[in-house]
Structure 1
Amino acid sequence: MFNAFTPRSASAYQRINVETSMHTIDQHQLVSLLLEGLLQAVATARGALARGDVPTKCSSITKAVRILEEGLMTSLDQEAGGDIAANLEAVYDYSVRRLIQANARNDDAMLQEVYRLIEPISQAWKEMKKNNHAANDVAQPVLAEA
């Protein structure tokens, strides 16, 4: 008999939904999601370290490193980004090294350091989008009058 719901089918729909949404969101939103995911992975690693949950700590740090290397670092446009892109690349590279050291040494201070480095970048990235929307909202009536 046909069963409409199985965990496997739900998982397949979830993957399709994630893949579809990745194609429809803008680049700014994608970077925002990557930064949020990175912060969440570091926070999860810190909690796992405090609990002594080694597998969760390791997988969370691995996730954070992958987000940095495969998401954030590869999305930097070195030519158009100039010094800002170079500085972000240096911060991301440093963060990767610190995460690897934190994993090997079970060092919460290193995890906290990475969180403190990335959090202001994430906040600034969100503010940039808000400011851009506010500028567009102000410009719309001016353009309509012209």
Structure 2
Amino acid sequence: MNRMRGANAYARVGVESQALQASPHKLITMLFDGAQEKIRAARLHMQAGNIEEKGKAISKAMDIVNIGLIGGLDVQKGGEVVANLERYYDYISRLLAKANRENSDAKLEEASVLLETVGSAWREVGGQGAQQSS
């Protein structure tokens, strides 16, 4: 058990140090990746019939969407694009809540696909920015 606790602490420190060193663009990418990871975990827990862990994973995915993605939007500066993203992320959050209540793998899949749509566009924009600064 001590070995597991040490491994978990090491993993948290690794993620925290990555976050501290990351650019704002990389941080958003990490949020998309984290949400996808939690959705994958929720699907596995759902398939295994582990309702409590499924709920925890979905709750963490919702926190990433609500606190990280929506909370990171600058509504004052972003105009219509940011308002549209806010509605998009809110829809994803509501999908996740329904998936949890209804035990719906289809709703988890839809949330994952929607996150990947924006996440892949975000990664592409980041890649272009990195190429331009080279």
2:109 is equivalent to residue 109 of structure 1? no
Distance 1:15 1:66 in 2: 17
AA paired with 2:64?
I
Which of 16, 21, 44 is the aligned partner of 1:19?
A: 16
AA paired with 2:93?
V
- Report the equivalent of 1:130: 127
AA paired with 1:65?
M
- Report the equivalent of 1:89: 86
Distance 2:54 2:6 in 1: 29
Distance 1:43 1:18 in 2: 19
Describe the superposition over 1:44-89 as per-residue Cα deviations: whole angstroms up to 9, x where unpaired.
1112212212122111101101101111111001122222211111
Describe the superposition over 1:115-142 as per-residue Cα deviations: whole angstroms up to 9, x where unpaired.
11111111011101111112222xxxxx
Equivalent pairs, count: 133
AA paired with 1:115?
S
Task: Could you tell me which runs of 5 or more consecutive residues in structure 2 were left unpaired when the two chains were aligned.
Answer: none
Once superposed, what is the RMSD of the aligned Cα atoms?
1.9
Distance 1:74 1:91 in 2: 13
Which of 2, 27, 33 is the aligned partner of 1:36?
A: 33
Describe the superposition over 1:10-40 as per-residue Cα deviations: whole angstroms up to 9, x where unpaired.
6555544443332221110000000011111
Which of 53, 56, 61 is the aligned partner of 2:53?
A: 56
TM-score (norm 2): 0.87
Runs of 4+ in 1 over 6 A off after TM superposition: none
Q: Counterpart of 2:71 in 1: which secondary structure? A: coil
2:55 is equivalent to residue 70 of structure 1? no
